[in-house]
Structure 1
Amino acid sequence: MSYLPGGQTDGRERYRASRSLCRQVAESVSRPDPTRRSVLAGIGAAGATVAAPTVNAAQTARRQIQQQVNPLADRDAFEAFLDGVMETHLESHDIAGATVAVVDGDDEFSKGYGYADISAETPVDADETLFRIGSVSKLFTWTAAMQAVERGDLAINEDVDATLEAVDLPETYDEPIRLDHLATHTPGFEERVRGTFVQNESELRPLAEMLRTEQPSRVRPPGEFAAYSNYGSALAGQLVAETAGSSFETIIEDGIFEPLSMERSTFAQPVPDDFMDDLSKGYGADGRTDGEFEYVGIPPAGAMSATATDMASFVRAFLQDGATDDGRLLEAESVAEMHRRRFGHDERLNGIAFGFYEMSRDGVRVVGHGGDTELFHSLLFLLPEHDVGVFVSYNSVGGLEARPEFVDAFFEQYVADAASESEMSEPNGPPERSDAITGTYRSNRIPYTTSEKFLGFPSTISVSVDDDGRLITQPLGGETTRWMEVEPLLFTEVDGTDRLAFREDDGEITHLFLDSTPVTAFERLSRRETPMVHLAALAISLFVFLATVVGWPLAAGWRRYRGQAGALEGTEPPLRYARWVAGATSGAFLVFAVAFAAILATDPTGLLLGDPLRFRLLLVVPLLGAIGTALTVGLAAHAWYERQWGLPARLHYTAVAIAGVAICWVLVYWNLLWYRM
């Protein structure tokens, strides 16, 4: 269902009618006035003439793309294209509203779609309506950090722990965490949910206090692997604030918002009163149910609210060497440093710059950053070599699916048609080392040491090879993707633009990397760590427990009804209490399983972000079950040693003991046997 103000109902028809026109415009229209893009293109052409008299086909194709990525060459055609895309997204993904800004050289376009407030029928206005931009906020944090580098307050290779005063980092590894580790998501922190978001304004605390009390563990040496880190970005915000002797919010206001005349942007939570009426509401999966204001516990990681027009000013600064008509943000050299690739898991895939990460595709280098709260989903991306930048934000859960479709539509319309497209051939056989690469891999962006670790359970990808020799990947519970090997251990998506690579270490395949997610690595799991093994252990154990707590009383009642003696009657202590111990153990684990599943289904946010007492009390139950398991194992061993009971009774009791051990093993792996934070 679509919730569009009047005047936008024919967008899809205009979109379809305008596609051929837009393509012709992109190929034939040039600007009448010289722009920075044309100057750079001229310099590049001159340099190529001097340095490389002959140009290969790939360079020629790339130069053609550079001349043709020009979305605002015809504003009417672009608006028709955008109207069709956005109306389709709002309707097909149940999105209440969205806002878009595009910068193309000296030109700028912004427009709102749908509603900021459905009940009040308030339309989205790109100039007035503020959206929560989530982790796109990090680009402002890293811009402030680069400004501190320009002032000499910080260095890119700064030892963070040596500089910070309010926060101490654990010395887990010999190598210190540097500023560039934070900027490339490679400091080695585990993921942490508690503290990243809070439930209400009263739970907000000063940044330094939150960073001290909700500090994640260091689980890998810095610089080895990227694992997206909200904490690392917030730590950079604290570092900037300390060196400047001011608050983070003041630094952003004075150093970024004011020079760029971003008068309708803020990191304040909630937003100031004069912005409150213009702040878009966030909506759930149905696009109609509005949610509460989402509070970010570590603001530098994602607390910003802004209009699309303000975001266009920020985009323009990064496309024009750090300066706009309103003021200078950074020196040109600093902008180049922020755009420069600084880390990558595989040189054949996208990597990470300073705060930005690469999103390159179709022969065009792209840098940007996405942003997600539970309700808002945003994206900022730049084509620096073409002076083109885009910001888009959706105010509903459906934006999570619409966002990649927006990028696909933009590139298909303005980039892909200009690129040289090659057809993918059929594989001659299975991939090289197919036996070595198949298996299960899990994202390294998970909690490792806390009871939040269960959040990483679904973050796995299974890898197999089909009968046609294509690689098949499937996320847990997700759809399959097919891949074609183009180089040893490098694959390209059959029906898409993504790429995938494997890392080999001492002859063993250890990691999987995706071109679309350079800020995350996927670690190969041993068989005993795979979700299927854990699910099987849980299912069998819970079945045994259920058979125990239901079957034993029913069997006892049936024997009593028939006047028969029980299998354990007449035994001496401690075996006289064996069934009570096993029954209580089974009951404890069943109660925990039901309660845990119910809480996850009804109030997972409260469990993770609310009063930790509830989580602590919940995890007392499996701990009691573990104690009961130890007693059950001992009693089972005693029964076998003394040859007590009949064989069926001993086997059933042993099954309960084994089930208890199995479920304890699973709970220990996921840090759920006792509370750990």
Structure 2
Amino acid sequence: MKKIMITMGILLLFLQLGMPVLAQEGQREVKTDETIERQIDQIMDKYIGKKIPGASIGIVQDGEIILTKGYGVSDIEKKTPVDGGKTVFEVGSITKLFTWSMLMKLAEEGKVKLDADIQEYLPKGTLNLTFDKKITILDLMSHTAGFEEKIEGMDLESVEQLKPLKETVTKENQPKQIYQPGTVTSYSNYGANLGGYIIEQVTGQSYTDYMNKFIHDQLKMDHSTFSMIYDDQLIIKDNLSLGYEPDASSIKKGKRFLGNDIPAGALLSTATDMSHFMLALLNDEKEAPFSLFKQSDTLEQLKAHSYSMVPYTPGNAHGFWEKEVANKRIIEHSENTSSFSSHLGLAPEERLGYVLLTNIGGEATGIRKELETLLYGESLPDDDLTPKKSVTDKKLVGRYRTARTMQSTMAKLSSIVFDSDIIITEDKKGGVNVKLPGETEYIQYVEVNSGIYQKVGNEQKTTIEQGGLNLKHLYFEFSDDEKVFRIGFGTVADFLPVTILNTQRFNLIAFVLSFVSFLATLIYLLIKFIRERHKKKGTNWSKNYMFLTIFSSIGLLVWISTFFMTLKFAMNPTMIISSMKWLFYINWLLPLSTIAMSGYLVANWYKYKGKKLTVFLLLISLLTIIIFYNLNLFF
């Protein structure tokens, strides 16, 4: 999970710190592949102590742990070495894999059905949905339930603010459902929380208690917990790594994640414990000491493909994200919090998996890519893939924004201000050029099949690719009117076409025009009033000008209010937006005064002085009202 910027914005870390590179052997179980260990050491040496303070890795294959090892430090100041078996990291969003696994377990036990309406398992009135189409557990797993993003109130200041799930998944706290279920992929922490709440309702136990008991009893994950409060769990408290944030050319101590999204991101764990989980996920042959399910079919189903934009292409596998590397099917999940980053990847057919836990936020150094190449092999370029023109190329041209966005509150402003859009242009030689947010290089794609474009070449040009995201294929889907409905890379969120009203350029121009118009009008009227007073013609100052002065003053006041709201939100994006309700009330003065001014103008049209200026300002006011309404600045 993140404090939201925009889903595709991954930070590039150029951090140069002189921290020691320490390697600590963890609890190696069964065997160690010395060749793999040496190669892992070489990769780690490039990053640990330079761009990443500390990390821990676990590798499993053929039912055995072949390596768990710690590198670097868990506390820069104290120089505490990372231990692969003991040092505890925030696992963040990889927590969701445990939530989905337990729902599969309950399905195996006949207590839930993956394709049933989730409202069958929730108390009546829990949700306030926009669409009649049912949401299923499969929709929650594939992040296609249709919920918008919501970070409001996500970061807590103290443990006293922690609440039980039944109080955090209520319709009052529910993100608005803005997409019909099953139609758009939009990564959702709330969806995972609903999954956790279903576990509570079906088992009669709290999510935390149920999950802790399972991982401790069945997986022997003794250094792990789903609890946000762990003062009584000394094995966690005494071994928990500090987290760090990149800060320009240095690293600063970060803040631990404290929030109510327990089923979405609460897990704390070690590389060894996570290796136990991987062994269970790969235990099709029943030879490993850990199991998730009683039936092999359930495990096979968990790892099987379950959703994608284009049929028979990589997408989602019951909560895992799919991709292909070196002709191997990979299922994986990553996490990036403000102070920790982790990755878990499995090659099911090879019975191979690895987990990387780091104590740096927003990690995009390239370490994951190198580990992936070492363990899975390197994907070879398609030499015969050359640019060629397609009738679809022109249709794809445009601007696209992540579906994982905030739409129903003023937080929508962030997706416009930060201009995180994908831009697609037509390549003269054939195919399309794709520019990702924050990147300077374009990626060229050519159409290779219906609904599928493929990247030309194998060069990893972008920071996002270096961070481990697979951009080999670009998928698209048309609506019934043959316009692009969505595009995507088969990952955590689709991208949807952006209308002119929601572009950064349009809003910036409109904002400046509106503010300058109200300010300039007020200045003009004040100068006019002073001049007439100086000429002793104050009696000629008509009501028209007086009302126009009041109107322009209200417009300026509303803009000052909006600037203050925006500043407060920018300083704390997870703030409770309703805490600024009085500023929203001030903004309502603009439409009310516009109606009043329009009525006065019409009523006094023939004897009205300053018609042109008043009409101009009314038009500016209408433009401002449209923008404010679109950005939810009235409520």
**1:502–1:509 contact (8 Å) kept in structure 2:** no
State the 1:123 CA deviation. Answer: 2.2
The structure whose RCO (Cα within 8 Å, separation 6+) is larger is: 2
1:164 corresponds to: 122
Q: 2:53 aligns with which of 62, 85, 96?
A: 96
Q: 2:479 aligns with which of 498, 502, 505?
A: 505
Pairs within 5 Å for 1:176-575:
176-212=134-170, 213-273=172-232, 274=234, 275-286=236-247, 288-321=251-284, 325-330=288-293, 331-347=295-311, 349-399=313-363, 401-402=364-365, 405-417=366-378, 419-423=379-383, 425-429=385-389, 431-457=390-416, 458-476=419-437, 478-487=439-448, 488-494=450-456, 495-496=459-460, 497-517=471-491, 519-550=492-523, 552-553=525-526, 559=531, 563=535, 570-573=540-543, 575=545
Pairs within 5 Å for 1:102-113:
102-105=59-62, 106-113=64-71
C-alpha distance 75-594 of structure 1, shift in aligned 2 (>3 A): same
C-alpha distance 385-655 of structure 1, shift in aligned 2 (>3 A): same
Q: Which amino acid aligns with 1:509?
A: K
**1:270–1:293 contact (8 Å) kept in structure 2:** no
Q: 1:579 aligns with which of 549, 552, 559?
A: 549
Q: Which has the larger radius of gyration?
A: 1
My pick for the range that moved more, 203-212 or 156-165, is 156-165
Q: How far, CA to CA, are the matches of 1:220 and 1:313 in structure 2?
A: 37
Q: How far, CA to CA, are the matches of 1:91 and 1:434 in structure 2?
A: 45
2:465 corresponds to: none
Q: How far, CA to CA, are the matches of 2:202 and 2:509 in structure 1?
A: 53
Using structure 2 for the length normalisation, give the TM-score.
Answer: 0.85
Q: How far, CA to CA, are the matches of 1:206 and 1:434 in structure 2?
A: 50
Structure 2 unaligned runs (5+)? 1-15, 25-29, 461-470
Q: Say which SS state the counterpart of residue 508 (structure 1) adopts.
A: coil
State the 1:556 CA deviation. Answer: 5.1
Q: Which amino acid aligns with 1:393?
A: L
C-alpha distance 371-6 of structure 1, shift in aligned 2 (>3 A): closer
Q: How far, CA to CA, are the matches of 1:323 and 1:296 in structure 2?
A: 37
**2:410–2:632 contact (8 Å) kept in structure 1:** yes
State the 1:441 CA deviation. Answer: 1.9
Matched, 1:618 2:583: yes
**1:439–1:524 contact (8 Å) kept in structure 2:** yes
State the 1:420 CA deviation. Answer: 4.8
1:644 corresponds to: 609
Q: Say which SS state the counterpart of residue 209 (structure 2) adopts.
A: helix
**1:141–1:237 contact (8 Å) kept in structure 2:** yes
Q: How far, CA to CA, are the matches of 1:636 and 1:90 in structure 2?
A: 70
Using structure 1 for the length normalisation, give the TM-score.
Answer: 0.80
Counting aligned pairs with the same residue, the percent is 25
Q: Say which SS state the counterpart of residue 295 (structure 1) adopts.
A: coil
Q: Which amino acid aligns with 1:622?
A: N
Structure 1 unaligned runs (5+)? 10-34, 36-71
State the 1:100 CA deviation. Answer: 1.7
- Root-mean-square deviation (CA, aligned residues, Å) is 3.0
Q: Say which SS state the counterpart of residue 540 (structure 2) adopts.
A: coil
State the 1:483 CA deviation. Answer: 2.0
Q: How far, CA to CA, are the matches of 1:101 and 1:209 in structure 2?
A: 36
Q: How far, CA to CA, are the matches of 2:65 and 2:425 in structure 1?
A: 48
Q: How far, CA to CA, are the matches of 2:523 and 2:481 in structure 1?
A: 51
Q: Which amino acid aligns with 1:658?
A: L
2:12 corresponds to: none
Q: How far, CA to CA, are the matches of 2:191 and 2:607 in structure 1?
A: 59
Matched, 1:628 2:593: yes
Choose between structure 1 and 2: higher helix proportion: 1
Matched, 1:659 2:615: no
**1:575–1:635 contact (8 Å) kept in structure 2:** no
C-alpha distance 551-614 of structure 1, shift in aligned 2 (>3 A): farther
Q: How far, CA to CA, are the matches of 1:118 and 1:351 in structure 2?
A: 39
My pick for the range that moved more, 384-393 or 571-580, is 571-580
Q: Which amino acid aligns with 1:438?
A: V
1:29 corresponds to: none
Deviations 1:504-552 (A, max 9, x none): 22342233332252x3222223333333322322232223234345555
2:3 corresponds to: none
Q: Say which SS state the counterpart of residue 588 (structure 2) adopts.
A: helix
State the 1:146 CA deviation. Answer: 1.3
Q: 1:174 aligns with which of 128, 132, 147?
A: 132
C-alpha distance 85-545 of structure 1, shift in aligned 2 (>3 A): farther
**1:444–1:521 contact (8 Å) kept in structure 2:** yes
Q: Which amino acid aligns with 1:276?
A: K
Q: Which amino acid aligns with 2:478?
A: E
Deviations 1:390-412 (A, max 9, x none): 1112222241x23xx23322333
Q: How far, CA to CA, are the matches of 1:614 and 1:388 in structure 2?
A: 50
Task: Work out the number of aligned pairs and report it.
Answer: 593
Q: Which amino acid aligns with 2:91?
A: I
Deviations 1:250-269 (A, max 9, x none): 21122233211100000111
